[in-house]
Amino acid sequence: MSSIAPGADVSEAAVLGEGTKIWHLAQVREDAVLGENCIVGRGAYIGTGVTIGDNTKIQNYALVYEPAKLGHGVFIGPAVVLTNDTYPRAVSPDGSLKSAHDWTPVGVTIEDGASIGARAVCIAPLTIGRWATVAAGAVVTKDVPAFALMAGVPAKRLGWVGKAGFPLTQDGGFWVCPETGAKYVEDGNSLKEAEDNA
């Protein structure tokens, strides 16, 4: 059973998976679909039709605008923003107020296991690869490869991280996790798990 704290605003048309918790002042809009065991923190916003996989944590005051798609086990830090308008304007060239029908939303896709640090901004449209880590305060403007460690404004790849989240160190032809010993290999401009991980 999911739980909704008093003061949260959850649309009756939203779908919440078993064990999902929505905290105070959070808003979950129409047709949003959240998987099992998700946490949506205080004051967070989940836009219309956003999809979120199981075991995902969205921290306080994060803004996840539609049509974002989040995989399983994604971490969204406090005050993260996932944008949805490439060329934002409040008004049209003639000065009239724009409505929701005057633009086409574009989304951020975050693949399984990825983590987005506090106050990072992801400028749609883009995809953040699985198990990647975006540092706090980064501004992501381009697609991020799997297992990449990104930081800065605009964000650049500083290195690689493993599934445990620790920066990897190079050892011969492998990148190795200092925490788990898991090995990874570079594949062009991305990283993949080594076949000899048992």
- Are 156 and 167 members of one domain? no
Q: Which of 189, 143, 191, 197 is nearest to 167 (CA)?
A: 191
- Are 47 and 102 members of one domain? yes
- Are 42 and 120 members of one domain? yes
- Are 114 and 128 members of one domain? yes
- Are 101 and 168 members of one domain? no
- Are 18 and 77 members of one domain? yes
How far is Cα 88 from Cα 1, in angstroms, rounded to an integer? Answer: 39
Tens of pLDDT along 44-93? 999 999 999 999 999 999 999 999 999 999 999 999 999 999 899 999 99
pLDDT of 134 reads: 98
- Are 98 and 20 members of one domain? yes
Asked if residue 197 has pLDDT above 70, the reply is: no
Give me the number of domains the chain comprises: 2
Q: 134 in the Ramachandran plot: left (φ > 0), alpha (ψ -120 to 50) or beta?
A: beta
Asked if residue 198 has pLDDT above 60, the reply is: no
Neighbour-count burial for 52-90, b at 16+ CB within 10 Å, e otherwise: bbbbbbbbbbbbbbbbbbbbbbbbbbbbbbbbbeeeeee
- The answer to whether 39 and 58 are in contact (CB under 8 A) is yes
Beta-strand pair 45-46/126-128: unpaired
Tens of pLDDT along 133-189? 999 999 999 999 999 999 999 999 999 999 999 999 999 889 999 999 999 999 888
pLDDT band at 195; cut points 50, 70, 90? confident
Task: Please enumerate in sequence order all residues whose Cβ is within 8 A of that of 51, keeping only pairs 6 or more positions apart, or say none.
Answer: 32, 33, 68, 69, 70
pLDDT of 111 reads: 98
- Are 113 and 140 members of one domain? yes
- Are 139 and 83 members of one domain? yes
- Find the mean pLDDT for residues 92-118: 94
